[in-house]
Structures are given as structure tokens and as C-alpha cells.
Chain A
Amino acid sequence: MSTEAPTLTKKDFTTDQEVRWCPGCGDYAILSAVQQVFPELGIPREQFVVVSGIGCSSRFPYYMNTFGFHSIHGRAPAFATGLKLARPELEVWIATGDGDSMSIGGNHLIHTLRRNVGVKILMFNNRIYGLTKGQFSPTSEIGKKTKSSPVGSVDYPFNPLSLAIGAGATFVARSVDIFQAHLRDTLRRAARHKGTAFIEIYQNCNIFNDKAFTYMTDKEHKDDGVLQLEHGKPLIFGKAKDKGIRMQGTEMEVIELGGEFGPQDCLVWNESLHNPATAFLAAQLLPPLFPTAIGVFRNVEEVPYEQRVVDQIQHETERLGLGKLDDLLRAGDTWTVSEHGAVS
């Protein structure tokens, strides 16, 4: 296995397969960002494995010139966990969607997060089922009219970041398909994280849920509608940097800066707090009362699952010596039957 860091480019990560997402789909932007970031990481190409489930986003591996596995609906984290346990040195990334990971694969997602398996999960959230042609998803807003909810969905949606934080995720972030620089930066930070990195990526489905995120991505809304979480910096937003977020008791609230309040009153963002409560509060920073928070919500160090498994095997091997098959078979009570039928 090659260990030298080769010089790779985006082209090295592009396959000969024709990309078959709908023209204008947000997935193209995410693919491009990932293909730009991978060569920067200094990891040989053959060390990457991109794993997916089912859905539009899950076609992702076919377009990445790495090892790839397009598994079954919702099961990518389970497959990836087995792979990572068998081969901890591999760089395993998961591409999934809001249906794949929040609905059919919800169980695997939360257990992967709680175990802190060293995989990166890119969750493309377009708040709709695309591949099955337009039913509401577990992240669709209540009241959403779709083919399967013609008079409006009565389901309360998941907040994916709350779910991830609640499951004990050690790295939790949000970015947006068209915020390319922010997305690339978030991917780089996820790549450096040991343990599970969960990134929710807002992704526009221009066929079944077009303009789902324009309330925050449009030029006119962007400045007031987006709050960037930056470690060590006060939470300030707005075109004129005239708004901020402060803690008031156990709640967060928006304050107008310049008069009564100044930047010193704003909460200084700390993504490394071990207690997930603040990260959970930040995950609630959503319209209509708040701008949408993006960036890294939580980033704490915990020993990854595969490391714990490997350590235990190593420890037991040191303690007991490498097992010999003959000893294994002869373990426990044995007796010998001799040629003459005598038993001893």
C-alpha cells in the first residue's frame, strides 16, 4: 500500500461515468466541492471509499474515482461501520439524503453517531423525496403539499442537527450547496475530524422542491438570513453586522447592535464545549425567529469506535498471546480414547 502523499487533482477523482442528476440539481455543486477537497487531503486515492444508500444523492459514489459502494436504502452507515472496523486506515465517506438517513436509515444513523465511527456523513437535505418523484420527506415542513400529501403534510419534521447532537455526534456542521467556499471549508474540517463527522448540506431539488432554501440563499436574504458560526467569534450577522445573538437565561435571542448592545454582549461561539446543550440551542437557530445558523455546531474529540475495537483486540492479544488454533480446539475438558478403547 502506498503511503506517500501523491499530488492529485480534481480530475483524478472524476470518473468516466456520465453524471445523471437533473440539470440544475444542487448535487452537482456538492460533487464538485468534494472532488476539489479530496485531492487537497494528501491521502492516496485508493484509500478513499465512498459509500451510499438509495436516493438521488446516493448515486454519488459512481461519480467519484475512488473505491465506492452503492448499498441499499438507509444502510450505508451500517456497511461503512463494518468496513471501517475491518480496515480502520481507510478514509470512508458516506453520501446520503434526508429520506435515506432520516427515515429508512434513521436507526443506523443514530447508532453510528453514538458509537463515533470514524466516517464522514454528508447528508444532502432537499426536504423532499426526489428519486421516487416528489413525496414529502422527514425534513419537509409541516403543511407541505406533495404527491403523497395533496392537502398538506401533517408530519412534524426532524431537525437533523438536533437529532445528530442528541445522538452524541462529535462533529456536527451545516453548509449549503451553493455556498461553495463555506462548503469546501466545512468538508476540510470534517476530513480532519477523527470520529463521526455529520454535515447537513442544504441542497436544492429544482424539480420537486425548487427554491426550498432561497429564503436564506438569495442575495437579498442572505445577509440577514444566515448566521455563520465561527469558533471563538461573537455571533453577529446582518449586512451591516448590526445584529447578534446573546444568551438570555437558557434561551438564545436576537439583539440589535449599536444602541443598547454591542458585540461584547453577543455569545462567543465555542464549538468544542463537551456539554452539547449550547450546540443544541444553536441547532434551533432557524427562521422565522432567527437566521439559519451554518458552520460547525459541535467539534469535540472522542476516541473513535474502530480505535476502541482495535485497542481491545490488541490488549487481549498482548494479555493472552496470539491465539493458536490447536489450543482453541483443545480448550475445556478433553479426554483421550486410546487404541484399546481405554479412556483417560
Chain B
Amino acid sequence: MSTTVAENERRDLALEKLDEVVIRFAGDSGDGMQLTGTQFTNTSALIGNDLSTLPDFPAEIRAPAGTLPGVSAFQVRIADYDIHTPGDAPDVLIAMNPAALKKELKDLKANGVIIVNTDEFNARNFTRAGYTVNPLEDHSLDKYRVFQVALTTMTRRTLEGMGLDNKSAERCKNMFALGMCYWLFSRPMESTVAFLNQQFAKKPLLAEANIKVLKAGWNFCDITELFHTRYEIPAAALEPGLYRNVTGNTTLALGLIAASRRSGLPLFLGAYPITPASDVLHELSKFKNYGVTTFQAEDEIAAICAAIGASFGGALGVTTTSGPGIALKSEAMNLAVMTELPVVICDIQRGGPSTGLPTKTEQSDLLQVMFGRNGDSPIPVIAASSPKDCFEVALEAVRIATHYMVPVVLLSDGYIANGSEPWKLPKVEELPDLRVEFRTDPTGFLPYERNPETLARPWAIPGTPGLEHRIGGLEKEDVTGNVSYDPANHEKMIHLRAEKVERIARDIPPLAVHGGESGDLLVLGWGSTAGAITGAVNMAHKKGLKVSRAHLRYLNPFPANLGEVLARFERVLVPEMNLGQLALLLRARYLKDVQSLSKVQGQPFTRQEILDKIEQILEFKPYVH
């Protein structure tokens, strides 16, 4: 990780400039690792680094202390250039206990830095973590640079005389680790100090204690000469503009509010708490002064039914959930298909099947949202590719839903939802105009008369004189919307609903190919694999390999040029965090023999994994150009 070495003027301390570093904070669920990682991230964002984060925490709120299942980790990659992933392997591991060391060590780079809290390295914790001998003494860590620090002891000492009980004092130890990292990577402490003052505004003693420990961590490094090198990661050359560090769930919430404002429709969220989607509900619940109504429903079904009710009433109906929630909502999704009402269904995917891996990421709901309903039931599907992309995708989902009078599925996943990256704030006046018109003229009103262009039916909301009408889940007669069991009419309506969704392809951008427009290999992805694919293809280019990439935002309908793009490439590689769901769709739709690269470990792809596959494919290429 070294580039240039400068001398520190104050004393004999090397200051090494790095172009990037990957740090993983790992500890017990109660050790505050997510908070520590987030603070390090926000501070790095404010000094202008490009960054990407990967939180990885257990589903249990507090698994038994000191055990492997209880380990909570937060990985952040900071760089002085444009990056797309949180990094394949950490350079630095902060292990707050033996379990964290054991669970996270396998990913650490050779010669990587390990900082351990020696206070937790005792016989009881070795047993809990499954160590038979002390790993700090058996030479198993010889290929790493290990720094042993009695974090808990020093934290307790720092707070002596403040009148805090032992437990409260010890809980500050994550700030000691953070202070050390701030020193080690030359970060300012101001934003974390401000955060702590705000966080503990009502408990000034705790604010003071945490700040004191943070500074103690910094000072400890500054005076003990534990580290012989300090590192610096300069700001990245990002596009000029105003930036903010965002997680996908935050951006999704902001995008929905923006869509509400740009459409003039009040936002109504019906939601039932579910990991990893709940943060969207939390976020939107804060913005009542933006006219946002959040309804925490009694279950997933009520959440979407309420959203459909709100849409029928002329609001922007949205529901947020994850895979198991989609399973419960599928009947109501079909009600929106049949009644042709705009509803946005956000699926923040997690590991399945069943309850699966609630806190881990996966892309395995694609086929569920495409086909998981009775009848021929087409629903447009679009997917966000990164935390910041959720903003645009939310606006686009609302545009499609209201313009075509259809329910729309927006796919995100746990990796996007909880991961963060810098986001260049858009200008409000440049956001798309999403204004909608309700039907008001009663003359000749028929509920299922269609716009000849979009095939959308009129949005006729209660309270409008002369537009009284009845709709529901029974098959509709074409144009009148009356209940109809006529066989020919049913077939016509099935085709009309399908045609309406197909026509959206006329109204979305063609798929863009990065790299050669044709060639031996195209890496085609969707959703959160975007960063890893981009990184892998960039690495392949550096090795001189000829490979192109493209990324699908629109999964139903596909962009109009997709078939033609696929045909231009000898081979197509489709990396997905499932067993090949997009690959299945592409094969079915375009008869293209795409190759699937599948990973279902609850963890995102590394760049290396995709690069290895690219190299493998190109090596076995039958033709030589």
C-alpha cells in the first residue's frame, strides 16, 4: 500500500502517502463497531476521499458475548481516486476480541495491520471464539503486523474520577480505537466530537467521556511511538460540486420525497418493519413537514393494501419491504396490476429462501418480483446499482408508475441499503418534472379507456363529481372497467396489460456499453454488482484484456437494444448474487448462451472474483484475433 514516504518534521516518524486503504472494524455486537466505522467514514468523506463501505452485522441484536456469531464488522475503503467497491481485502483489521480476530482474519492482506484489544484476549474468550491457544502467542499471526493495545484498561483509566460506572466507562472503548485510527490515518477529530456532543446532548457526561477517550486514543499513538509510520490518503479528484455521504436507504427515502415534490403528489408510505428495509421507514418518518405520511401497518399485506388505497385516493402510494414481505404482498401487487394503479414497491433484498439471512445481501428476488404472482401479471422492475443511485431510481420508479398507471418494483439490496458512498447533490431544478393530471372531466368518462400512447387508464380519484366508478380485482371489461367474464375480453386484457409494460421500453434509455462496442466478452450485470464489475473490468483493462461491460437498470422491460448488444459479443458473463436469475431471463428472451457467475454467500462479489472469471473465460477463448 505504499507510494511515497515523507518525513514527519516533529519527530522521527514516517508519513506515508497512500492512494487507498481498506480498514475493517470488528468486535462484539455491543462494541459499537457500526458507529465507529460510520464515524471514520464520515470524517473521511468530509476531507474529500472517495469511499465505499460494507457493514456486516449479525441478525441477532446481541448474540452471546465473545462468540463468532456475535461479531459485527464494518469495512470502509477510502481512496484518493474514484472507487466503486469497499475493497476486496482489508489492509487494517481492528479486532476488539478474539472472536473478531478469528472471524475476520482470513480476509486480511498479507503483511496487513492488526490492532487487538488485549484486555479481551483471555481464556474465557479464547474458549468462546474456539481458540485452544492464545493466537497472539502461537506465531499464527507472524505474517501480519500486530499491535497489542489494552484498550479497555486505558479507556477505564482515562475516565477515572469522572463518576462513571465501570460498564458505561468500558462502553467508550470503541472511541479509543477510533482515536487511534484517526491518528494513524491523519484524520481530524472535529466532526466526531460534534457528533458525540449532539448524540449525547441530554447526557453531557457521556459526551465528555466519549470525547475524552477519543482524544486519549489519538494521544496514545502520538506519544507511545507504537506505530513507526503514519499514513495519509489525500482527497480524491471528484467532480466539482456539493457532496454528502449517503447510504442506499437514506437516498431511497430522499428520492421518494423528491419524487413526491416533483409530481405534486403527497407521499404515503405503508410499511411493516423488516430488515434491511426498515431504515427507509425510519428515514421517511422524520419528514412529516414534507407532507409525508408513514403508516406502520399491522403486517406486510396491510402495508401494501394501504398504499394502494392511498393511490386510489390520489396520493403517491409506496411500500417498502424485503423478500419475505414481497411473498406476502404478491396478491395485493396483483390487485394493483388489475386495478392499474400506480404503486411503488421497494424490495431491499436479503439472503433467502424463507427467513434466510436477514442482515446479509443477495439478489435473489428478481424472479420472484418478475413472476411470483398468479396469472400473467407483468410488473415493471428497475434496480438501483449503488447507494447514490437509489435517488435517481426512486424518481424513475415514480415516473413509470404514474405515467403508465402501473405498480413498479424497485430492487435494492442489503449491500446498497447499508453501504455508503459520497453523493454529489443534484440541483433540485434539474430533477425530472413528474407532474400528473387527474381526470376531472365527467364527459364520456370510462375508467378503462386508455391513452393511445402509453395505454395508461385515467387516474380518477374519489371526490371528483361525475367520476363515480367501481373497480377491483375481478377481470375488467375493456374500456368500461365493468366486471367481465367474457373469454375474448379476458385474453384482450391480458395482452393489453402486457403491452402496456412492454411499451415502457420505448421510453427508457438504450443500454450503454463501456469499452469496445463489440468483442469477445461483455460483462453484464444488474443491481449492486455494478461496483465490483466496474472494478474488475478496469483491472482487466490494466492487464490488457479486451472486455466490455454494461449494467442494466431496467429489468422489465429490458432496454430495447439489449438483444442487439448481446448479439455483438462472442461471450456474455453475468455475475449475480443468486443462482443465475438474470442469466435465465436473458437465455429465455434472447436465446443467448450467457455464462452465469454466481455467488450466494450473503456477501458482495470482490473485484478479484470477477476478474478471475474474466481471465478464465478469455484464456479458454476458442478464437485468436
A interface residues, Cβ below 8 angstroms from B: 1-2, 15, 17, 44-52, 61-62, 64-73, 75, 78-87, 89-90, 107-108, 111, 309, 312-313, 316-317, 319-323, 325-326, 328-330, 332-339, 341-343
A335 in contact with B426 (CB, 8 Å)? no
B256 to chain A minimum Cβ distance, whole angstroms, is: 11
Interface string of B255-270 (1 = CB under 8 A from A): 0011001000010101
A67 proximity list for chain B (CB < 8 A): 462, 467-470
Q: Kindly specify which of B3-11, B115-123, B212-220, B294-302 makes contact with the partner chain.
A: B294-302
A313 proximity list for chain B (CB < 8 A): 288-289, 291-293
A84 proximity list for chain B (CB < 8 A): 309
B487 to chain A minimum Cβ distance, whole angstroms, is: 19
A44 proximity list for chain B (CB < 8 A): 465
Given the known interface contacts A46-B462, A78-B302, A336-B243, the answer about A330 and B266 at a Cβ–Cβ threshold of 8 Å is: no
User: Please, could you name 25 A-B residue pairs with CB atoms under 8 Å apart, sorted by A?
Assistant: A45-B465, A45-B468, A46-B467, A61-B470, A69-B309, A69-B471, A70-B473, A72-B473, A75-B301, A75-B302, A78-B301, A78-B305, A79-B305, A79-B309, A82-B268, A82-B270, A82-B313, A83-B313, A87-B314, A313-B293, A328-B258, A329-B254, A330-B425, A333-B46, A333-B245
A335 in contact with B46 (CB, 8 Å)? yes
Which of B240, B244, B268 meets A333, CB within 8 Å? B244
Which of A15, A70, A80, A309 meets B309, CB within 8 Å? A80
Given the known interface contacts A49-B462, A334-B244, A335-B243, the answer about A81 and B295 at a Cβ–Cβ threshold of 8 Å is: yes
Which of A61, A89, A108, A338 meets B240, CB within 8 Å? A338
B331 in contact with A72 (CB, 8 Å)? yes
Given the known interface contacts A69-B470, A75-B301, the answer about A320 and B289 at a Cβ–Cβ threshold of 8 Å is: yes
Interface string of B211-254 (1 = CB under 8 A from A): 00000000000000000000000010111111111000000001
A337 proximity list for chain B (CB < 8 A): 48, 235, 238-241, 243
Given contacts A46-B465, A82-B306, A333-B46, 14 further A-B contacts (CB under 8 A): A1-B464, A64-B470, A69-B339, A69-B470, A69-B471, A71-B305, A71-B472, A72-B335, A78-B305, A79-B305, A81-B302, A86-B268, A86-B315, A333-B191
B382 to chain A minimum Cβ distance, whole angstroms, is: 21
B287 in contact with A68 (CB, 8 Å)? no
A90 in contact with B463 (CB, 8 Å)? yes
A309 in contact with B293 (CB, 8 Å)? yes
Instruction: Give complex CA distance A21, B606 in Å.
Output: 62
Instruction: Give complex CA distance A82, B308 in Å.
Output: 7
A326 in contact with B473 (CB, 8 Å)? no
B470 in contact with A62 (CB, 8 Å)? yes
B428 in contact with A329 (CB, 8 Å)? yes
Instruction: Give complex CA distance A68, B48 in Å.
Output: 55
Instruction: Give complex CA distance A316, B284 in Å.
Output: 13
B470 proximity list for chain A (CB < 8 A): 15, 17, 50, 61-62, 64, 67-70
B254 proximity list for chain A (CB < 8 A): 328-329
Instruction: Give complex CA distance A264, B463 in Å.
Output: 50
B288 proximity list for chain A (CB < 8 A): 312-313, 316-317
